[in-house]
Structure 1
């Protein structure tokens, strides 16, 4: 086990054992005024690949997230208005990148840029006719193409956002935020439609920015997102369901997956890939359907996800996933979950050709598979209110070699043994 992984496990255990002390130091939270909602979460992931990949090993990563919501109506009489501020700290290493060589992380807590970051700062106003407006700093995937079922897993193929759109369109995804405006109309308690516009400035995602660069007009494009949906809950439906259809567009055309500026193979020439004109675009669909319900909220839900690239050439053509979440498992375990998904990421011809040429340049031959299949089986153990432990098994068939640049043969399929620990301090201490 790597030094970082040992440190990560120590941190997770220490955080759990130190809970009573933390509660004592946070006793004032119990006296929060009405209209103030505070959240503090610690999520840690440890993953090991005893089989497959470029080499075997163990890596760990974690984040700490703090969020405050201020209801300005309750606090100061500003009708139907709230402020939402969120900050997060990230650390750790990525097993998929460091040991397996592929681009789809098995750890949803890992991010390319470590350290602290302001992830959201928004003002929301709800009108009395079902219309609401959000303005400020926000990531696209906190509002579009999201579902609570996505993060019953640890793999980044599902959590936080189904794979594909972030890679293809460069959408600002948690923890990165940009200037944003979102308009939503709730037709009734079930039907809604929303649209958003987000500044695209990839420089803001780099180290040292920390989400605090509030510059205006320096982006290279604008991301627009649209979604319509139908959703119910246990409050108004015996078998709750959620269906969403949406699309994204980024006016920044991105870069070719294959060609350099002269139209040659960038992998063979060693030159950067060419900037593309036009726009990046993609569509998505998701469905969550409860198919069985027992006592209380014991239930079985099925889900499916789909993403299709519809704009400029991009690394991924399509992504599909499907699975189930069983809430309430054994006797007396009403809050535990048993969940599984299987996904298929289909890479574009240009991306596969690039990887083929790069392999050839390093003395190999042939091309990697265009379809990367990932499966995860997880068990969410509700240890205590506010503490959940999630052991999981993942298997990657045809790992892509995007982060194994000198690889000359296919990467063997990888078995991943994972552990995720979530500590929600607000629930733990009853804030």
Structure 2
């Protein structure tokens, strides 16, 4: 089925209609009084909640990568959720509606400065206003919840709460999935038609999440086309690229406020009828490095498994120390990255200061066996180039809350070893990209 398109003026009008009231009257969840009835944002009464935020990132590449230099980008978000039972009629109790938009402007630090697989900023994307989410939900508290519409996988699945302050994108939507799925997967900055079923209470206790989404959120971009340009405004409601199914089982301790004492998640995903190229062989079994090789062998399906663990080691009032660890595995014959692991900590109330948080993270993405063997084959055929191995991301940042929590300042440092797993540096043929050191500063505000 061909993706449905909406004319650009209508896209912009819809985005402005959704964003205007929220941006004018909302504030972020961090600055909401404890008495609010909203899970996020400000309660406007009659079951209507709104929130909006402004994020500004600045990055300077101090050494290595693609080039030295500095770039900046901004992100404006606005969202609303409506309890339809309270806003319209008691007959609609248990029904909710949600919508959100995002606007991005600026230069992307990964492509311009570093060249890594992992996104230096989890906010970077092609400059454009985008429809982020549009959904309708029916829920029975702690029993069942069904949400359907324009959704993103990374808002609920694969998440580690202790990693939320880390800026590098791989600590949110992992490189292991971003490099395996069409157009990077149904994750920021994309959303796609889908549905999510939650059984039990996965956010507070034990439960199960099941998601079904369109396989390619960009809607069949052409060869060599940037998927974000193909779906620039987020309104290409694509049903192409097969069907992406993800299942996540969750269990853990409970907490009245603050982080849960511990959480464990086990997940699996599959993409049916998506079409995936072999990393090494053509349809006749020849290496793709062989001058006589034909088109790559195609696989109809793809799949993977993952696990997430979190634990709060210490807690005293608003202060706590939480750890997280995640692992993602997928077949190396059709995926560039076959294994990714990451881990880190969040120390809230660092050094006795309640409004400050120290976050540390490390992520290792290992290139699959077939992709590594292709590099060996290329060398055997006389194409001298580095053998790709892995990419390692190390990040440290320190978040300071100002203005009563409505404004956050977060300086940080990232060290990216083997960017793009030792991909060739175009400036020095035959040599890999050099390790990069990136300094960053994030300003985040709620309205």
Instruction: Tell me the TM-score normalised to structure 2 length.
Output: 0.80
Identify the match of residue 440 of structure 2 among 418, 425, 430.
418
* Structure 2 residue aligned with 1:59: 71
Matched, 1:194 2:209: yes
Answer whether contact 1:358 1:405 (CA < 8 A) is retained: no
| 1:34 CA drift (Å) | 2.8
Task: Report the RMSD for the aligned CA atoms in angstroms.
Answer: 3.1
Structure 2 distance, partners of 1:28, 1:287, is 33
User: CA 1:359–1:341 in 2, change beyond 3 Å: closer, same or farther?
Assistant: farther
Matched, 1:212 2:227: no
User: CA 1:32–1:236 in 2, change beyond 3 Å: closer, same or farther?
Assistant: closer
* Structure 2 residue aligned with 1:300: 321
Deviations 1:268-289 (A, max 9, x none): 7599963622311111111110
Structure 1 distance, partners of 2:297, 2:83, is 45
Answer whether contact 1:368 1:410 (CA < 8 A) is retained: no
Answer whether contact 2:262 2:310 (CA < 8 A) is retained: yes
Deviations 1:350-393 (A, max 9, x none): 333455677899x9734244121111111011122221111111
Answer whether contact 2:424 2:430 (CA < 8 A) is retained: no
Q: Which aligned pairs between 1:81-96 and structure 2 lie closer than 5 A? A: 81-96=95-110
| 1:72 CA drift (Å) | 0.5
Identify the match of residue 93 of structure 2 among 79, 82, 86.
79
Identify the match of residue 389 of structure 1 among 406, 409, 413.
409
| 1:408 CA drift (Å) | 1.3
Structure 1 distance, partners of 2:152, 2:174, is 15
Instruction: Tell me the TM-score normalised to structure 1 length.
Output: 0.82
* Structure 1 residue aligned with 2:134: 121
Identify the match of residue 158 of structure 2 among 118, 139, 145.
145
92-101 vs 39-48, which deviates more? Answer: 92-101
- Unaligned 5+ segments in structure 1 are 1-21, 426-431
Structure 2 distance, partners of 1:179, 1:321, is 29
Answer whether contact 1:244 1:287 (CA < 8 A) is retained: yes
| 1:214 CA drift (Å) | 3.3
Structure 2 distance, partners of 1:58, 1:356, is 36
* Structure 2 residue aligned with 1:8: none
* Structure 1 residue aligned with 2:34: none
* Structure 2 residue aligned with 1:35: 47
Matched, 1:255 2:282: no
Q: Which aligned pairs between 1:343-358 and structure 2 lie closer than 5 A? A: 343-354=363-374
Answer whether contact 1:172 1:178 (CA < 8 A) is retained: yes
* Structure 2 residue aligned with 1:374: 393
Tell me how many residue pairs correspond in the alignment.
Answer: 396
- Unaligned 5+ segments in structure 2 are 1-19, 28-41, 220-226
394-403 vs 163-172, which deviates more? Answer: 394-403
| 1:312 CA drift (Å) | 5.4
Structure 1 distance, partners of 2:432, 2:151, is 39
Structure 2 distance, partners of 1:414, 1:270, is 37
